[in-house]
Structure 1
Amino acid sequence: MKSKLLNPGPERTYAVVLEPGDEAMEALQRFAVQESLNASRVSAIGAFERAELGYFEIDRKDYLRIPVDAQVEVLSLVGDVALDGGKPKLHLHAVLGRRDGSTVGGHLLSGVVRPTLEVLVTESPGYLRKTWDARFGLALIDPAA
């Protein structure tokens, strides 16, 4: 993973480039901690050699796992970083394009980069916090927190 600060503020903007074999969620989580991100928006394009997406089943309060065991284009990867228990936490959704032009999408659980993932991260000077919502079994952004 390589990164460059493009704009120092008031909204810090970074270019983050992941390399073949990088696991996207792990690498971006490390970056979020390293840069002390607490209110960021994330967008990216690139490709994965394989990935796992999730569809949140509210009644089960858990993700149905959707394996993607093929090379796919990352057509859209969007999300945010907010504080959860005082630590940066990623929340990313992806639309992945298959060889035949069909797509699959969902919550990004994991993705192994091949050949690259080009990510833009913009950090607000404010902060966002997540609080636990027992109704859904998830920590959700709470603007009042």
Structure 2
Amino acid sequence: MTTLSYQVAGAGGGDGGERPPRKWKDWALERETELRLEAPDQEGSLIDIKLVRGTAEVFGTEVARNQSYSLCPRMKLAIFTWHGCTVRVEGEPQVAYISEETPMIMYLNTHIAVDQLRHRREKEGQIGPRVSPPVPQTHTHTKR
């Protein structure tokens, strides 16, 4: 659970206009940890993230290596890794820290348990368990 470097990124934005230099920091995540980030409230505060080594996901969606992702103001994000990775954060987030306490393993265990129940019911010629309304066009909200 270490961080690597903290430097200033070059100026220029590719659109012809000059962008002020921004600090960047590489975060080294160990296996089964997550980097939690919160973007500042101010409009125009740019926070970009990039996976530079390893594999990671954001809310179950894989993060592509060497692809920049921008955070909107007030956005909260958790970048999780199963095997370890390095994530570069460019800009100055309001909050940034590595957490070893993550719900991802609990989510995986829940998925496995539901899947095992589903297979058991299938062998018995039954359907289930279901995690959504059983009837199409049924809403979880109560209608009056």
TM-score of the superposed pair, with normalisation by structure 1:
0.36
Query: Going by fraction, where is helix more abundant, 1 or 2?
Result: 2
Higher relative contact order (CA 8 A, sep 6+): 1
Query: Going by fraction, where is strand more abundant, 1 or 2?
Result: 1
Q: Whose Rg is larger?
A: 2
